Protein backbone atom coordinates (compact mmCIF):
# COMPACT_ATOMS: atom_id res chain seq x y z
CA UNK A 1 0.00 0.00 0.00
CA UNK A 2 1.19 3.50 -0.74
CA UNK A 3 1.91 5.42 2.46
CA UNK A 4 -0.52 8.17 3.44
CA UNK A 5 1.70 10.20 5.71
CA UNK A 6 0.93 13.77 6.72
CA UNK A 7 3.97 16.01 6.97
CA UNK A 8 4.09 17.16 10.61
CA UNK A 9 5.07 20.80 9.98
CA UNK A 10 2.03 21.35 7.74
CA UNK A 11 -0.12 24.29 8.75
CA UNK A 12 -3.40 23.27 10.30
CA UNK A 13 -5.90 24.02 7.46
CA UNK A 14 -3.86 22.18 4.90
CA UNK A 15 -3.14 19.34 7.31
CA UNK A 16 -6.86 18.94 7.64
CA UNK A 17 -7.35 18.72 3.87
CA UNK A 18 -4.58 16.14 3.62
CA UNK A 19 -5.96 14.11 6.46
CA UNK A 20 -9.38 13.99 4.87
CA UNK A 21 -7.87 13.09 1.51
CA UNK A 22 -5.98 10.23 3.12
CA UNK A 23 -9.14 8.99 4.78
CA UNK A 24 -11.02 9.31 1.54
CA UNK A 25 -8.46 7.24 -0.32
CA UNK A 26 -8.29 4.67 2.46
CA UNK A 27 -12.05 4.27 2.32
CA UNK A 28 -12.31 4.11 -1.44
CA UNK A 29 -9.05 2.60 -2.62
CA UNK A 30 -8.06 2.52 -6.27
CA UNK A 31 -11.00 2.82 -8.65
CA UNK A 32 -12.24 -0.22 -10.54
CA UNK A 33 -13.79 -0.63 -13.97
CA UNK A 34 -17.17 -1.05 -12.24
CA UNK A 35 -17.14 2.72 -11.72
CA UNK A 36 -18.50 4.70 -14.68
CA UNK A 37 -15.59 7.17 -14.67
CA UNK A 38 -13.10 4.31 -14.94
CA UNK A 39 -15.08 1.89 -17.05
CA UNK A 40 -12.54 1.55 -19.82
CA UNK A 41 -9.35 2.12 -17.81
CA UNK A 42 -8.15 -0.63 -15.54
CA UNK A 43 -5.68 0.80 -13.01
CA UNK A 44 -4.98 -2.53 -11.27
CA UNK A 45 -1.40 -2.59 -12.66
CA UNK A 46 -0.69 0.68 -10.83
CA UNK A 47 -1.96 -0.68 -7.52
CA UNK A 48 -0.06 -3.89 -8.05
CA UNK A 49 3.28 -2.25 -8.87
CA UNK A 50 3.61 -0.65 -5.39
CA UNK A 51 6.48 1.65 -6.34
CA UNK A 52 7.70 3.40 -3.13
CA UNK A 53 6.86 7.11 -2.97
CA UNK A 54 9.55 9.77 -3.19
CA UNK A 55 9.36 13.55 -3.48
CA UNK A 56 9.36 14.87 -7.04
CA UNK A 57 12.31 17.06 -7.93
CA UNK A 58 11.28 20.56 -8.93
CA UNK A 59 13.66 22.99 -10.58
CA UNK A 60 12.78 26.30 -8.91
CA UNK A 61 9.22 27.45 -8.17
CA UNK A 62 8.88 24.79 -5.46
CA UNK A 63 5.53 24.41 -3.75
CA UNK A 64 7.25 23.13 -0.60
CA UNK A 65 9.33 26.31 -0.35
CA UNK A 66 6.31 28.47 -1.18
CA UNK A 67 4.49 26.80 1.67
CA UNK A 68 7.24 27.90 4.06
CA UNK A 69 7.48 31.45 2.73
CA UNK A 70 3.87 32.28 1.84
CA UNK A 71 1.77 29.82 3.84
CA UNK A 72 -1.30 32.04 3.74
CA UNK A 73 -1.32 32.38 -0.04
CA UNK A 74 -0.81 28.67 -0.64
CA UNK A 75 -3.37 27.63 1.91
CA UNK A 76 -5.97 29.93 0.37
CA UNK A 77 -5.89 27.94 -2.87
CA UNK A 78 -4.23 24.54 -2.49
CA UNK A 79 -6.68 21.68 -2.40
CA UNK A 80 -9.72 23.91 -2.87
CA UNK A 81 -10.33 23.09 -6.53
CA UNK A 82 -9.31 19.54 -7.39
CA UNK A 83 -11.91 17.19 -5.94
CA UNK A 84 -10.92 14.19 -3.84
CA UNK A 85 -13.92 12.39 -5.33
CA UNK A 86 -11.29 11.30 -7.83
CA UNK A 87 -9.29 8.68 -5.88
CA UNK A 88 -6.03 9.67 -7.57
CA UNK A 89 -6.55 13.31 -6.55
CA UNK A 90 -7.14 12.07 -2.99
CA UNK A 91 -3.98 9.99 -3.18
CA UNK A 92 -1.99 12.95 -4.43
CA UNK A 93 -3.46 15.38 -1.90
CA UNK A 94 -2.67 13.01 0.94
CA UNK A 95 0.84 12.13 -0.16
CA UNK A 96 2.31 14.90 -2.25
CA UNK A 97 5.59 16.22 -0.95
CA UNK A 98 6.31 18.85 -3.57
CA UNK A 99 5.50 20.31 -6.94
CA UNK A 100 5.55 23.65 -8.71
CA UNK A 101 4.14 26.89 -7.43
CA UNK A 102 3.64 29.79 -9.83
CA UNK A 103 2.07 33.05 -8.76
CA UNK A 104 1.64 35.73 -11.40
CA UNK A 105 0.86 39.05 -9.69
CA UNK A 106 -2.00 41.20 -10.96
CA UNK A 107 -1.53 42.87 -14.34
CA UNK A 108 1.82 41.21 -14.91
CA UNK A 109 2.58 40.00 -18.39
CA UNK A 110 5.12 37.18 -18.43
CA UNK A 111 6.87 37.40 -21.79
CA UNK A 112 8.59 34.01 -21.89
CA UNK A 113 6.82 30.69 -21.28
CA UNK A 114 7.42 29.19 -17.83
CA UNK A 115 8.59 25.57 -17.82
CA UNK A 116 7.86 22.98 -15.19
CA UNK A 117 9.82 19.79 -15.79
CA UNK A 118 9.34 16.52 -13.96
CA UNK A 119 11.78 13.69 -14.54
CA UNK A 120 10.66 10.46 -12.92
CA UNK A 121 12.93 7.98 -11.13
CA UNK A 122 12.66 4.27 -12.09
CA UNK A 123 10.60 2.04 -9.76
CA UNK A 124 9.29 4.97 -7.74
CA UNK A 125 5.99 6.77 -7.26
CA UNK A 126 5.79 10.55 -7.25
CA UNK A 127 2.80 12.79 -6.61
CA UNK A 128 3.70 16.14 -8.16
CA UNK A 129 1.35 18.81 -6.89
CA UNK A 130 1.27 22.07 -8.81
CA UNK A 131 -0.47 25.31 -7.97
CA UNK A 132 -0.72 28.08 -10.53
CA UNK A 133 -2.29 31.39 -9.53
CA UNK A 134 -2.66 34.01 -12.24
CA UNK A 135 -4.02 37.13 -10.58
CA UNK A 136 -6.41 39.57 -12.25
CA UNK A 137 -5.26 41.00 -15.55
CA UNK A 138 -2.11 38.88 -15.74
CA UNK A 139 -0.95 36.94 -18.75
CA UNK A 140 1.22 33.82 -18.82
CA UNK A 141 2.12 30.69 -20.80
CA UNK A 142 3.07 27.58 -18.87
CA UNK A 143 4.56 24.29 -20.04
CA UNK A 144 4.30 21.27 -17.76
CA UNK A 145 6.40 18.38 -18.97
CA UNK A 146 6.69 14.79 -17.74
CA UNK A 147 9.50 12.48 -18.77
CA UNK A 148 11.38 9.53 -17.29
CA UNK A 149 13.05 6.18 -17.82
CA UNK A 150 11.92 2.65 -16.98
CA UNK A 151 8.80 1.69 -15.02
CA UNK A 152 7.38 4.17 -12.47
CA UNK A 153 4.15 5.85 -11.44
CA UNK A 154 3.54 9.57 -11.74
CA UNK A 155 0.33 10.86 -10.19
CA UNK A 156 0.13 14.61 -10.78
CA UNK A 157 -2.43 17.20 -9.81
CA UNK A 158 -2.33 20.77 -11.10
CA UNK A 159 -4.71 23.42 -9.82
CA UNK A 160 -4.92 26.56 -11.90
CA UNK A 161 -6.74 29.66 -10.72
CA UNK A 162 -7.25 32.20 -13.49
CA UNK A 163 -8.06 35.65 -12.09
CA UNK A 164 -10.49 38.12 -13.59
CA UNK A 165 -9.58 39.13 -17.10
CA UNK A 166 -6.38 37.08 -16.94
CA UNK A 167 -5.09 35.08 -19.90
CA UNK A 168 -3.44 31.71 -19.30
CA UNK A 169 -2.21 29.20 -21.85
CA UNK A 170 -1.19 25.84 -20.43
CA UNK A 171 0.58 23.02 -22.24
CA UNK A 172 0.91 19.61 -20.66
CA UNK A 173 3.44 17.41 -22.41
CA UNK A 174 3.19 13.81 -21.33
CA UNK A 175 6.33 12.21 -22.73
CA UNK A 176 6.71 9.46 -20.17
CA UNK A 177 8.71 6.28 -20.75
CA UNK A 178 7.02 3.38 -22.59
CA UNK A 179 6.71 1.49 -19.26
CA UNK A 180 5.33 4.31 -17.15
CA UNK A 181 1.99 4.75 -15.42
CA UNK A 182 0.82 8.34 -15.62
CA UNK A 183 -2.30 9.75 -14.01
CA UNK A 184 -2.93 13.49 -13.96
CA UNK A 185 -5.66 15.92 -13.10
CA UNK A 186 -5.69 19.51 -14.24
CA UNK A 187 -8.36 21.46 -12.40
CA UNK A 188 -9.01 24.99 -13.65
CA UNK A 189 -11.07 27.71 -12.05
CA UNK A 190 -11.79 30.63 -14.36
CA UNK A 191 -12.81 33.95 -12.80
CA UNK A 192 -15.11 36.24 -14.82
CA UNK A 193 -13.94 37.38 -18.25
CA UNK A 194 -10.80 35.27 -18.16
CA UNK A 195 -9.35 33.30 -21.03
CA UNK A 196 -7.82 29.88 -20.48
CA UNK A 197 -6.39 27.49 -23.03
CA UNK A 198 -5.23 23.96 -22.32
CA UNK A 199 -3.22 21.83 -24.73
CA UNK A 200 -3.08 18.31 -23.37
CA UNK A 201 -0.52 16.31 -25.34
CA UNK A 202 -0.04 12.58 -24.66
CA UNK A 203 2.81 10.89 -26.45
CA UNK A 204 4.32 8.38 -24.01
CA UNK A 205 3.41 6.10 -21.12
CA UNK A 206 1.98 2.61 -20.95
CA UNK A 207 -1.14 3.47 -18.97
CA UNK A 208 -2.21 7.10 -19.09
CA UNK A 209 -5.22 8.85 -17.62
CA UNK A 210 -5.82 12.58 -17.82
CA UNK A 211 -8.66 14.52 -16.26
CA UNK A 212 -8.87 18.10 -17.46
CA UNK A 213 -11.65 20.05 -15.80
CA UNK A 214 -12.50 23.73 -16.16
CA UNK A 215 -15.18 25.75 -14.39
CA UNK A 216 -16.17 28.87 -16.34
CA UNK A 217 -17.60 32.06 -14.85
CA UNK A 218 -19.44 34.87 -16.64
CA UNK A 219 -17.87 36.08 -19.86
CA UNK A 220 -15.11 33.47 -19.88
CA UNK A 221 -13.55 31.78 -22.82
CA UNK A 222 -12.24 28.29 -22.16
CA UNK A 223 -10.41 26.08 -24.64
CA UNK A 224 -9.50 22.46 -24.05
CA UNK A 225 -7.43 20.95 -26.83
CA UNK A 226 -5.74 17.61 -26.86
CA UNK A 227 -3.59 15.35 -28.99
CA UNK A 228 -2.77 11.72 -28.30
CA UNK A 229 -0.55 9.37 -30.27
CA UNK A 230 -1.06 5.81 -29.13
CA UNK A 231 0.83 2.78 -30.36
CA UNK A 232 2.18 -0.52 -29.06
CA UNK A 233 0.07 -1.57 -26.07
CA UNK A 234 -0.47 1.97 -24.87
CA UNK A 235 -3.71 2.90 -23.18
CA UNK A 236 -4.53 6.62 -23.13
CA UNK A 237 -7.68 7.87 -21.42
CA UNK A 238 -8.71 11.53 -21.55
CA UNK A 239 -11.65 12.72 -19.48
CA UNK A 240 -12.61 16.37 -19.70
CA UNK A 241 -15.24 18.53 -18.02
CA UNK A 242 -16.28 21.98 -19.14
CA UNK A 243 -18.56 23.34 -16.46
CA UNK A 244 -20.49 26.39 -17.62
CA UNK A 245 -21.46 27.69 -14.19
CA UNK A 246 -22.45 31.20 -15.32
CA UNK A 247 -23.92 32.94 -18.39
CA UNK A 248 -22.16 34.29 -21.48
CA UNK A 249 -19.20 31.93 -21.51
CA UNK A 250 -17.81 30.19 -24.58
CA UNK A 251 -15.90 26.94 -24.66
CA UNK A 252 -14.08 25.21 -27.48
CA UNK A 253 -12.81 21.71 -27.29
CA UNK A 254 -10.85 19.78 -29.88
CA UNK A 255 -9.29 16.41 -29.06
CA UNK A 256 -7.60 14.48 -31.83
CA UNK A 257 -5.84 11.18 -31.65
CA UNK A 258 -3.95 8.72 -33.78
CA UNK A 259 -4.20 5.04 -32.87
CA UNK A 260 -1.86 2.41 -34.16
CA UNK A 261 -0.93 -1.20 -33.37
CA UNK A 262 -2.72 -2.66 -30.31
CA UNK A 263 -3.31 0.66 -28.55
CA UNK A 264 -6.53 1.61 -26.82
CA UNK A 265 -7.92 5.06 -26.24
CA UNK A 266 -10.76 6.62 -24.28
CA UNK A 267 -12.25 10.06 -24.74
CA UNK A 268 -15.00 11.26 -22.47
CA UNK A 269 -16.02 14.90 -22.76
CA UNK A 270 -18.59 16.31 -20.39
CA UNK A 271 -20.19 19.69 -20.85
CA UNK A 272 -22.35 20.99 -18.03
CA UNK A 273 -24.51 24.02 -18.64
CA UNK A 274 -25.96 25.10 -15.30
CA UNK A 275 -29.44 26.52 -14.96
CA UNK A 276 -28.27 30.14 -14.91
CA UNK A 277 -25.69 29.76 -17.67
CA UNK A 278 -27.76 31.33 -20.45
CA UNK A 279 -26.06 32.34 -23.72
CA UNK A 280 -23.51 29.57 -23.32
CA UNK A 281 -21.69 28.68 -26.52
CA UNK A 282 -19.96 25.32 -26.32
CA UNK A 283 -18.41 23.27 -29.07
CA UNK A 284 -16.79 19.88 -28.61
CA UNK A 285 -15.05 17.78 -31.26
CA UNK A 286 -13.22 14.48 -30.95
CA UNK A 287 -11.56 13.03 -34.03
CA UNK A 288 -9.72 9.75 -34.19
CA UNK A 289 -7.53 8.42 -36.92
CA UNK A 290 -7.27 4.65 -36.67
CA UNK A 291 -4.32 3.07 -38.47
CA UNK A 292 -4.60 -0.46 -37.13
CA UNK A 293 -7.38 -3.03 -36.97
CA UNK A 294 -6.16 -3.96 -33.48
CA UNK A 295 -6.75 -0.53 -31.93
CA UNK A 296 -9.72 0.18 -29.71
CA UNK A 297 -11.41 3.53 -29.15
CA UNK A 298 -14.20 4.47 -26.79
CA UNK A 299 -15.43 8.01 -27.33
CA UNK A 300 -18.34 9.52 -25.47
CA UNK A 301 -19.64 13.06 -25.33
CA UNK A 302 -21.83 13.86 -22.33
CA UNK A 303 -23.90 17.00 -22.41
CA UNK A 304 -26.02 18.09 -19.46
CA UNK A 305 -27.86 21.25 -20.34
CA UNK A 306 -30.13 22.88 -17.80
CA UNK A 307 -30.38 26.35 -19.41
CA UNK A 308 -32.62 26.94 -22.43
CA UNK A 309 -30.90 29.71 -24.39
CA UNK A 310 -27.62 28.08 -25.30
CA UNK A 311 -25.71 26.72 -28.25
CA UNK A 312 -23.95 23.42 -27.71
CA UNK A 313 -22.55 21.19 -30.39
CA UNK A 314 -20.54 18.03 -30.21
CA UNK A 315 -19.24 15.49 -32.63
CA UNK A 316 -16.98 12.49 -32.64
CA UNK A 317 -15.43 10.78 -35.62
CA UNK A 318 -13.45 7.59 -35.95
CA UNK A 319 -11.90 7.16 -39.35
CA UNK A 320 -9.11 5.76 -41.39
CA UNK A 321 -6.86 7.59 -43.79
CA UNK A 322 -8.81 9.16 -46.65
CA UNK A 323 -8.25 6.84 -49.64
CA UNK A 324 -9.17 9.59 -52.11
CA UNK A 325 -6.60 11.94 -50.61
CA UNK A 326 -4.00 9.19 -50.57
CA UNK A 327 -4.58 8.46 -54.26
CA UNK A 328 -4.50 12.15 -55.15
CA UNK A 329 -1.11 12.60 -53.47
CA UNK A 330 0.24 9.48 -55.19
CA UNK A 331 -0.87 10.69 -58.63
CA UNK A 332 1.42 13.65 -58.04
CA UNK A 333 4.44 11.41 -57.58
CA UNK A 334 4.48 11.19 -53.77
CA UNK A 335 5.07 7.58 -52.75
CA UNK A 336 2.53 5.72 -50.67
CA UNK A 337 4.43 5.73 -47.36
CA UNK A 338 5.22 9.45 -47.64
CA UNK A 339 1.63 10.23 -48.63
CA UNK A 340 0.37 8.34 -45.55
CA UNK A 341 2.76 10.22 -43.30
CA UNK A 342 1.77 13.52 -44.85
CA UNK A 343 -1.91 12.85 -44.12
CA UNK A 344 -1.22 11.65 -40.56
CA UNK A 345 0.98 14.67 -39.95
CA UNK A 346 -1.70 17.01 -41.31
CA UNK A 347 -4.30 15.42 -39.05
CA UNK A 348 -2.21 16.07 -35.94
CA UNK A 349 -0.98 19.50 -36.97
CA UNK A 350 -4.49 20.81 -36.64
CA UNK A 351 -3.98 20.63 -32.84
CA UNK A 352 -0.29 21.56 -32.81
CA UNK A 353 -0.91 24.72 -34.84
CA UNK A 354 -3.23 26.02 -32.13
CA UNK A 355 -0.45 26.14 -29.54
CA UNK A 356 0.81 29.69 -29.06
CA UNK A 357 4.40 28.74 -28.13
CA UNK A 358 6.63 28.35 -31.21
CA UNK A 359 9.23 26.16 -29.40
CA UNK A 360 6.51 23.71 -28.42
CA UNK A 361 5.12 23.57 -31.94
CA UNK A 362 8.59 22.85 -33.30
CA UNK A 363 9.20 20.27 -30.57
CA UNK A 364 5.94 18.48 -31.35
CA UNK A 365 6.44 18.55 -35.09
CA UNK A 366 9.78 16.84 -34.50
CA UNK A 367 8.27 14.33 -32.07
CA UNK A 368 5.52 13.56 -34.56
CA UNK A 369 7.99 13.14 -37.37
CA UNK A 370 10.08 10.76 -35.24
CA UNK A 371 7.01 8.80 -34.24
CA UNK A 372 6.02 8.36 -37.89
CA UNK A 373 9.57 7.45 -38.79
CA UNK A 374 9.86 4.79 -36.08
CA UNK A 375 6.48 3.39 -37.06
CA UNK A 376 7.73 2.99 -40.61
CA UNK A 377 10.96 1.33 -39.60
CA UNK A 378 9.03 -1.08 -37.36
CA UNK A 379 6.60 -2.03 -40.05
CA UNK A 380 7.52 -5.22 -41.93
CA UNK A 381 6.65 -3.47 -45.20
CA UNK A 382 9.47 -0.99 -44.86
CA UNK A 383 11.99 -3.03 -42.85
CA UNK A 384 14.75 -4.77 -44.73
CA UNK A 385 15.78 -6.93 -41.79
CA UNK A 386 12.52 -8.85 -41.76
CA UNK A 387 13.25 -12.50 -42.46
Q: Does 355 bind other proteins (CB under 8 A)?
A: no
Decide whether 58 or 289 has the Cβ nearer to other proteins.
289
Interface region with other proteins, contact rule CB under 8 A, candidates 70-78, 260-268, 275-283, 333-341: 333-341
Backbone angles phi, psi at 40, to 5 degrees: -105, 5
Phi then psi for 141, rounded to 5 degrees?
-115, 135
Q: Examine residue 365 and tell whether it contacts other proteins (CB under 8 A).
A: no
Size of the site for other proteins (CB under 8 A): 22
CA nearest neighbour of 311 among 343, 350, 284: 284
Report in angstroms how near the CB of residue 337 gets to other proteins at its nearest: 10
Q: Which is nearer to other proteins, 262 or 337 (CB)?
A: 337
Pick from 308, 331, 381, 387: which binds other proteins (CB under 8 A)? 331
Q: How far is residue 300 from each of residues 49, 132, 182, measured CA to CA in Å?
A: 30, 30, 22
Residues in the chain: 387
H or E segment and range at residue 372: helix 358-378
**Contact range with other proteins by CB under 8 A, out of 32-40, 170-178, 206-214, 329-337:** 329-337
CB-wise, 19 or 376, nearer to other proteins?
A: 376
The gap between the terminal CA atoms of the chain, to the nearest Å, is 46
Tell me: does residue 321 bind other proteins (CB under 8 A). no
Least distance CB 292 / other proteins (angstroms) = 20
What angle, rounded to 10 degrees, do the helices at 87-95 and 12-28 form?
Answer: 140
Q: Is 329 in the site for other proteins (CB under 8 A)?
A: yes
* Residue in 156, 180, 227, 339 binding other proteins, rule: CB under 8 A: 339
360, β-bridge pairs = none
Q: Residue 77 interacts with other proteins (CB under 8 A)?
A: no
Which range touches other proteins (CB under 8 A), out of 193-201, 295-303, 340-348, 376-384? 340-348
- How many CB atoms neighbour CB 131 within 10 A? 26
Binding residue (CB under 8 A) for other proteins from 118, 181, 267, 347 = 347
Smallest distance, Å, CB 253 to other proteins?
19
Question: In what helix (H) or strand (E) does residue 22 lie, and over which residues does it extend?
Answer: helix 12-28
Q: Residue 381 interacts with other proteins (CB under 8 A)?
A: no
1-6 LR contacts (CB < 8 Å, sep 24+): 1/50, 2/50, 2/53, 2/91, 2/95, 2/125, 3/53, 3/95, 4/91, 4/94, 4/95, 5/95, 6/94
Integer angstrom CA distances of residue 168 from 41, 185, 192, 323:
30, 17, 13, 40
* Binding flag, residue 368, other proteins (CB under 8 A): no
305 binds other proteins (CB under 8 A): no
**253 in Cβ contact with 242 (< 8 Å):** yes
Nearest-approach distance from CB 351 to other proteins, in angstroms: 10
Q: Which positions touch other proteins (CB under 8 A)? A: 322, 324-325, 327-336, 338-339, 342-343, 345-347, 349-350
Amino acid sequence: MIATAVTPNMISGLADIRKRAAERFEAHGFPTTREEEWRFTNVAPIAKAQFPTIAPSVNGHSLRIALERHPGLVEEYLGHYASCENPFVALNTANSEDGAFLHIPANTIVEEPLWIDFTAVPDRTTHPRNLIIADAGSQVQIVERYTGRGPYFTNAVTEIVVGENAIVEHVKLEEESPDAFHVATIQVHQSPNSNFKSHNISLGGLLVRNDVNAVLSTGCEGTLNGLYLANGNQHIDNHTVLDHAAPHAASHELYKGILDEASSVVFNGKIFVRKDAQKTDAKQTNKNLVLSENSVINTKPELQILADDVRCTHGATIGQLDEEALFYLRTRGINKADARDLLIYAFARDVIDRIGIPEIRAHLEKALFESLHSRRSHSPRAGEAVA
